[in-house]
Amino acid sequence: MKFEKPILVTKPIAPDREEFLRRVEEVIDSGWFTNMGGQHNALEAELARYLAVENLSLFNSGATALISALKALDLPVGSEVITTPFTFAATPHAIAWNALNVVFADIEADRMTLSADAIERAITPNTSAILPVHVYGFPCDVEAIEGIAKKHNLKVVYDAAHAFTTELDGVPISNWGDITMFSFHSTKLFNTIEGGALVYSDRNLGKKIYELRNFGIKVFDPDEDASEGIKNKDFVSNIGINGKLNELQAAWGRVLLKEVGTEQKRRGLVADAYKELLADIDGIAVPELPSGASNSFQYFPVLFRSEAVRDRVYDRLLAGNVFSRKYFYPLCSDFSVYENLPSSRSSNLPVATDIAGRVLCLPFYGDLQADDIRSIVEIIKSGID
């Protein structure tokens, strides 16, 4: 069996063409193309409403958002931030870009997210924060992590790149932690082509995040700044970055937001179809979300019995013109820039090492046809036997 056209791991949704083009004309006519313009500010408000959160700041990528989140918390330079190795490179990179030390800790087998026990074991007097990832939209053990953070006075930044709309018992996932980052890259369920956002509960962080996103240029605050008058030297208050989302991408996001719910429903049907067809096959398991968690429908990961079987299935799919992905193999701790860290030893990360060797993300998008799903499963079967 070989597909005529390649089947990729995802197929991004695009906004309604006519409505988007109307917005493009609005942007052109406005003469305002970036730097927190009308489309940008409207999208911030619409997303905050959609996600039922109070404070949301847009960025031009999830990576710049994550870098800025850690920066906003003023963690001591050289302090340690505990994170998972079972993630995309952007997660540990955000720590390193802030001149903080990356410390990898192991994951739980069921959720594939940072293990609370492993976090506790990794804490030293030099630990300043935890950076867990809701990988594939599987919520971390947020209650346990909150307990640890309180006990040891640590900050928590969640990487929710895969967890757009995820809720736990009806509560938005960004309710936990000091700051939560979402990615709006085109491979994500909701996308602005490139983009991301930070959500936070402490309103005071908003001004700092706004400034960090705009080179650190100070926002004039009439209460604080008027008495002294802004001095020239204080014009830039922090070492910021250019993290601004432009007007065209914001316009794209505004139109697309209306279609996300439909795409999620369609992906739900695709997930059901896969589950039904995969249920009776030995040697492959579909990880279950923890109870109370809603599905973001970002990825469809499966676990094989061994690395050899996973790799054989991957190769068979490839031969059939199906591009599944080994997210997240290799582990970030195996990248040459991190492999020499003491926490990168595989003996420190047995569960992550095992899962990364057996996982595969199958093609997953609303437009995937029932016949195609059946053919993909047939190829998988041939690789397992």
Contacts with ligand T4K by CB under 6 A lie at: 8-12, 61-63, 87-88, 90-91, 133, 159, 161, 183, 185-187, 196, 323, 327
Minimum separation from the CB atom of position 303 to ligand T4K (A): 18
Nearer Cβ to ligand T4K, position 218 or 365?
A: 365
Nearer Cβ to ligand T4K, position 230 or 351?
A: 351
Amino acid at the residue 181: M
Instruction: Return the residue nearest ligand T4K (CB atom).
Output: 62
CA angle, 360 as apex, 331 and 349 as ends, to 5°? 30
Minimum separation from the CB atom of position 15 to ligand T4K (A): 14
Minimum separation from the CB atom of position 299 to ligand T4K (A): 8
Nearer Cβ to ligand T4K, position 90 or 303?
A: 90
Q: Token pair of 43, please? A: 């999208």
Nearer Cβ to ligand T4K, position 9 or 218?
A: 9
Q: How many CB atoms lie within 10 A of CB 248?
A: 18
Nearer Cβ to ligand T4K, position 218 or 249?
A: 249
Minimum separation from the CB atom of position 8 to ligand T4K (A): 4
Nearer Cβ to ligand T4K, position 187 or 201?
A: 187
Minimum separation from the CB atom of position 20 to ligand T4K (A): 16
Amino acid at the residue 130: I
CB-based contact 2:376 (threshold 8 Å): no
Minimum separation from the CB atom of position 61 to ligand T4K (A): 4
Minimum separation from the CB atom of position 254 to ligand T4K (A): 18
Residue 4: φ, ψ to 5°: -70, -45
Nearer Cβ to ligand T4K, position 88 or 274?
A: 88
